Structure 1
Amino acid sequence: MTSQTIHLACLCAAWCRLCEAYALVLEREVADLASKGTALRMHWIDIEDEVELVGDVDVETFPTIIIADQDNVRFAGPLTPHPEAMRSLLRATILNAPPDARWPAAGPAIDAFAERLRTC
């Protein structure tokens, strides 16, 4: 069980049909992790409606996923909208991540976004 809340943000756009279809995949995977006792908070963020929250994050591809704990960004980038890709990412960054895992630097814009996300 994860002792801290993990934030999973999906940056998307309301007009994006790919994102719309991906929502079901993401919700299913989040429900599965929650059933395993993971403290996971999902954020579905329309980048056009949440400009202040997104800040300077440059979203080039939908969907873009950001996973952050209280101290680190664990993942930030686009992800193919396939259930197995999402499942693998979530298991690697949440379920199977050792407590002392070190994560690559995400950059100032992503770090600032993650900080704002933690307060939502």
Structure 2
Amino acid sequence: MQYRPLDPGREFLVACLCAEWCGTCRDYRAGFEALQAHFPQMGLIWVDIEDSADHLGDIDVENFPSILIQRGEHVVFFGTVLPDHGLLRRLLETFAAQSVEESAAYAAATPERRGWQTGHNLRALLREA
């Protein structure tokens, strides 16, 4: 699995789920990793879904790049994004501006998001790996 060890002191986990064979992913990677400097409270990791398939549980990636954002144990976002670092930056700014309580409420606000809490908890999956 291609990820840096998770820093338990980081409130957010932001994972880009991609594949090395994907040209869009390869082009996106450097800009994704550069966002770490703008969001020190977030741990950004790159996960090659093919190399890590055994560790991803029920996470099903349908297109690239797919982003998973957790705040603590709450999955607040999972989905495909346009390969535009400015869009991801604004998304991260939005979640960073929420209180912990707002993020928890957001994570539980729809049936889809409630489903992410068990099937897409990447922190839990990485702890088990």
Is the structural similarity TM-score above 0.5?
A: yes
Secondary structure at the aligned position of 1:75 is classed as strand
1:118/1:78 CA distance change after superposition, 3 Å:
farther
Where relative contact order (Cα < 8 A, 6+ residues apart) is larger, the structure is: 1
Unaligned runs of 5+ in 2: 1-8, 108-112
Q: Does structure 2 conserve the Cα–Cα contact (< 8 Å) formed by 1:72 and 1:103?
A: no
List aligned pairs for 1:5-84, cutoff 5 A: 5-34=11-40, 38=41, 40-84=42-86
Q: Identical aligned pairs, as a percentage?
A: 31
Supply the AA of the counterpart residue of 1:117.
Answer: L
In 1, the alpha carbon distance for the partners of 2:114 and 2:78 equals 7
Q: Does structure 1 conserve the Cα–Cα contact (< 8 Å) formed by 2:10 and 2:43?
A: no
What TM-score do the two structures reach when normalised by structure 2?
A: 0.76
What TM-score do the two structures reach when normalised by structure 1?
A: 0.81
- Aligned-residue RMSD, C-alpha: 1.9
How many residue pairs end up in the alignment? Answer: 112
